[in-house]
Each structure stands twice: as structure tokens, then as C-alpha cells.
Amino acid sequence: MDQAEFQTAKQQMLRKQLRRRGIHDPKVLAAMNKVPRERFVSRQTHNEAYADRALAIDCGQTISQPYIVALMTQALELSGKEIVLEVGTGSGYQAAILAELAREVFTIERYAKLSKQAAATLSALGYRNVTLMVGDGTLGWADRSPFDRIIVTAAAAEYPPALFKQLDEGGILVIPLGGRDYQTLQAIRKAAGRPRTVSLSACRFVPLVGNC
């Protein structure tokens, strides 16, 4: 595809995948329109960058379908002032979307290869408010906490206690919870130190791996 074809595919994504399925936050739609998703996918799937499905990337991981990226981002209710922790950098696409909408983004990836690739892509695109780390995302990033928002792009049976502890009061944690083959995307708000959960959508993510 050339740039004109990518732009056409992107506009179809915005219209058919996002707006028609309830993505209504204008800031989220603007970020999805601005970030060039084709820069974050593999060469093998380059022409499918805006397809309505997850795509394989290196290390046996995936880049989530555009709708899920937008849904998770919308659920964070970002105003532009927040400090966000992302668990699962992957290709860096979700981090780029967050960087358009939050004050600062911290993102953890357990695969050094993916983190290095994501850092190079984000830097090439001019993002300066994203800090990357290779490590165990289930432990969070205590030195940088508390976080206003936390987003987890891999599935767990339950949310890691360390992440909820590092979430500031009133903050929101978005995470897919469930078994290996089926999960429910959850938005968990910390209210008076306790979780208040809203279910968003059925989903399927790669498993979250860590010490917690």
C-alpha cells in the first residue's frame, strides 16, 4: 500500500470499526486518526494494518485490533493531565495513542526485542513523553507510582495486586480478565481504596506473564 491507500483504510477503520461500534470520544478518534498504525505492524502484515483484527508481531505477541485499542483508551477517560502506566508495550502502538492523550506514559515490556523496536518507532515519530522499561509488568513500576491510569494489554485471571496498589485514588485500571481463551475487558476504578468494576466487552488477549 502507498500512503493514499493507508489513509483510505484508516478512514474506513474510523467509520466502520470505531464510530459505528460506540467509540465516541473525539480525542480518542483524533488520536486513532493521527497515529500511523502501519508503522507498528510487521512487514508480513503491513497491508493489513487497519484490518478489524489482531495482528501477529515478534516474540509470539500481537497488536490488538483497532477497536479494542480505542475501547480501552476511551475507558481510561483521559483529559490530558494524567500519568499513565501501560503493561505490555508490544509494538508501541497503544503507547503512541496514549502519548497523544496523556501528559506522560510509562510502559513496561518483558521482551527486550519488542521494547527496543517500540522505542525506535516512537522516537522516529517524535514522541518524547513515553518512557520504556524491560521488566515484569505484574510488579508495576513502583518508583514512578502512583499512576492516574493503568492499562494492561495482556490477560490475567485477576488483576495483579501491585498494579492496584500503584493506582492513585480515583484512578482507573483497564485490564482483560478471565481464562486463556476468553476474557472480559474490565474498567476498575479505585474508590475509597476499593475496586469498582465495569465490564466493557468480551475479548481475547495473549496471557500476562509475571511473578504475580
Structural domain total, the chain:
1
**Beta-strand runs (E) in 94-166:** 104-109, 130-134, 147-152
Compute the average pLDDT of residues 111-135.
98
So what's the pLDDT on residue 19? Answer: 96
User: What does the pLDDT average to over 153-182?
Assistant: 94
Model confidence at 78, pLDDT cuts 50, 70, 90, reads: very high
Which residue out of 64, 91, 123, 201 is catalytically annotated? 64
Query: Is residue 108 in a domain?
Result: yes
Are the C-beta atoms of residues 129 and 78 closer than 8 Å to each other?
A: no
Does the pLDDT value for residue 37 go beyond 60?
yes
Give me the percent of the chain exceeding a pLDDT of 70: 99
Asked about 64 being catalytic, the answer comes back as: yes
- pLDDT: is 43 or 12 the higher one? 12
Average pLDDT over residues 56-68: 94
CATH number at residue 188: 3.40.50.150
Q: Are 65 and 73 in contact (CB under 8 A)?
A: no
Per-residue model confidence (pLDDT) at position 211: 64
Of 36-40, 42-46, 141-145, the poorest mean pLDDT is in: 42-46
In a domain, 77, yes or no: yes
Given the DSSP bridges, would you call strands 183-191 and 167-178 parallel, antiparallel or unpaired?
A: antiparallel
What mean pLDDT value characterizes the chain? Answer: 95
The contacts of residue 35 (CB under 8 Å, 6+ apart) are 93, 96, 97, 100, 125
The answer to whether position 208 is within a domain reads: no
Would residue 210 count as lying in a domain?
Answer: no
Whether 80 is in a domain gets the answer yes
Q: Which residue range forms the structural domain that includes residue 56?
A: 3-203
Is pLDDT above 80 for 212? no
Mean pLDDT in residue range 76-88 = 98
**pLDDT at position 129, please?**
98
Residue 69 has pLDDT above 80, yes or no: yes
Cα gap 30→7, rounded to integer Å: 14
